[in-house]
Structure 1
Amino acid sequence: MRVFDADRQEWAGDERETRFDGDQQMQAAKQGQVLRQAAVVLAVVGFCFLAWALGWKDEPQPAEEPGATQPTATDSWDGEGGSSAEPSAESSEETSAATPPPGYEALQDSEGFRSAVPSGWERTGRPSQYGMAVVEYRSSDGSRRLQVFAVMETSPYASLQAAQLESRKLDGYEVITLEENTDAPRKAATHEYRADEVAGESQSFTRHVIDHRFEAEDGHLYAIVAYGSDADGSGDEQELLDTALRWFCPPDTQCAAPSE
């Protein structure tokens, strides 16, 4: 059988036909191989595109520009700038608004506590076996005094009971009150008395004394004692004690602004 060889543009005989059939088979095999390679390439390209598309969707958001505002926490005022963080505007206004009564000044004692005493009073201190020194503030004429120290007993009332045993030995001692302050937010007790003789005083006149012992914000016990002349009444000693107590903040402690 003769066939027309389109490549050679001639008719081929049986021998040529055989060769033509072989050429066709080889050409078909080559075409199949090319198609398979093309399919592999297309599959690889498709996989790469799919991986890129998924990766693009999961890209992180752009980083925030430097200087962007972030919310910050603020600490409450500790009375003398002891806060580790910058105070908020609200706490700064509260600080500036809290001022001692006229004639008094707020101070941060070298023993670490905060309080308020009459302006111009002289400070002295002496060591104590209970840690914090016994601190005294005294008027220029020596007639009035404020004393601050730490207490060792288990409760303010127990401490005052022990102190009264010594106060009874004073000349002219007269108790006004010795009571536990049950309505106070923390444990507290007060011993108020008169005496013609008071330890640490050289002037001879009847003194009015208010000894207040209390539990402070740090959970420890302290005493604030106001001394003055009994001749002018008890109001000035009470004011002295109340002001010092209202402004008192123990060492290494953050306290709220003093109440009015």
Structure 2
Amino acid sequence: MRVYDTERQEWGGSRRERLFHTDQYLDVPRQKAVRQRTGIVLAVVGLAFGVWALAWKDEPEPYREPAAAEQESTAGTDGAGNGVPPTGSGTHDAASTALPVGYASQQDAEGYRIALPEDWTREARSSQYGIDVVDYRSPDGTRRLQVFQVLETSPYASLKAARVEAEKLDGYEAVSLAEVPADTGSAAEHEYRADEIAGEQDGGSTRHVIDHRFEAADGERYALVAYGSDADGAEDERELVDTALLWFCPPGLECDPPAG
């Protein structure tokens, strides 16, 4: 086959053709060697490109403080991936109901927990049933909170029996006697006025009484009875009963502070 030599401006013979197409006239072993060298070069180039691509794709993220990284990973979810901002979970102490000013929670010698004014004194006497009857008194003796255990099978039945005795008091005047809502078990309340009540130190003035009886977390029934002057209204006796009831924990049990 003849080829055209552009430099010489003439057609060349077979010898010149071999100069232009040298690969075609190499012997077979040399052709294989050329192809192997070409394959090795291409493989090296391809490997280098792959390493570069992987290194670029897996480049590490900028360093972040552990606390910041954890905060970013949890923000915006509720733990189940629902896209809800996280909320704190405070302890019972942090969410406890605040006591009225001047009140304190205390553990009584009879085993129950209760809350009442800090400067009140305590007296106790034996009872025919359950724990001792405990009286807490204000320093001036005008207010009292009584705690005892109830024998009857229900708070309401116990109050109906107690009303029979209360009706014998001078100047007895009923305000209410009814079952009331309760967090545990059942509860009932008897509210009344009377001119003279045994054990009170300011006889002769009308007294206001709230007798609250309830079933506690231990399944037993207890009474919280608040006594005070009727002249200053019913709010102070109500606060006494409500606070004592809210913080009451029966003997032998451990109770969390009431939740706010």
Following TM superposition, by how much is the alpha carbon of 1:119 offset from its aligned partner in structure 2, in angstroms?
Answer: 1.1
For residues 170-212 of structure 1, the C-alpha deviation after alignment (integer angstroms, 9 at most, x for no partner) is 0000000000125654200000000011121132211100000
- Distance in 1 between residues matched to 2:159 and 2:189, nearest whole Å: 7
**Letter of the structure 2 residue corresponding to residue 224 of structure 1:** L
Assess, with a 3 A threshold, how the Cα gap between structure 1 residues 183 and 151 changes in structure 2: closer, same or farther: closer
* Superposed displacement of residue 255, structure 1: 1.9
Quote the Cα distance in structure 1 between the aligned partners of 2:171 and 2:135: 23
1:245 aligns with 245
1:1-48 Cα offsets, whole Å, 9 max, x none, are xxxxxxxxxxxxxxxxxxxxxxxxxxxxxxxxxxxxxxxxxxxxxxxx
Structure 2: unaligned runs, 5 residues or longer: 1-88
Q: Which residue of 1 aligns with 2:170?
A: 171
Q: Which residue of 1 aligns with 2:202?
A: 203
Relative distance call for 1:183 and 1:120 in structure 2 (3 A) is closer
Give me the TM-score of the superposition, normalised by structure 1.
0.62
Matches within 5 A, 1:23-34: none
Number of residue pairs matched? 170
TM superposition shift of 1:254: 2.2
The equivalent residue for 2:235 is 235
How far off its partner does 1:251 sit?
A: 0.1
2 CA distance for matches of 1:131 and 1:96? 34
Matches within 5 A, 1:113-132: 113-132=112-131
2:132 alignment counterpart: 133
Equivalent-residue separation in structure 1 for 2:154 and 2:122 (angstroms) = 28
> How many Å separate the matches in 2 of 1:230 and 1:152?
29
Structure 1 residue 131, shift from structure 2 partner? 2.1
Residue in 2 that maps onto 1:187 = 186
Deviation string, structure 1 residues 122-143 (Cα, Å, up to 9, x no partner): 0010000112000111001100
Alignment partner for residue 94 of structure 1, among 92, 95, 102?
A: 92
Alignment of 1:145 onto 2:138: no
Q: Distance in 2 between matches of 1:259 and 1:146?
A: 24
| Contact map agreement 1:212 1:223 (CA 8 A) in 2 | yes
Distance across 2 between alignment mates of 1:154 and 1:185: 15
8 A contact 1:196–1:206 mirrored in 2: yes
CA contact (8 A) 2:177 2:191 kept: yes
Find runs of 4+ consecutive structure 1 residues off by over 6 angstroms: none
**Post-superposition shift, 1:97?**
5.1
Q: Which residue of 1 aligns with 2:256?
A: 256
Answer yes or no: is the 8 Å Cα contact 1:126–1:133 preserved in 2.
Answer: yes
Q: TM-score, normalised by structure 2?
A: 0.62
CA–CA distance in structure 2, aligned partners of residues 195 and 209 of structure 1: 8
Matched residue SS, 1:94: coil
1:185 and 1:253 map into 2 onto residues whose CA distance is: 14
Q: Deviations over 1:76-133 (max 9, x none)?
A: xxxxxxxxxxxxxx78x42365342211010000000000000100001000011200
For 1:214 and 1:185, the matched residues in 2 are separated by 8
Distance 1:183 1:104 in 2: 22
Separation in 1 of the partners of 2:196 and 2:213?
A: 21
Distance 2:155 2:124 in 1: 22
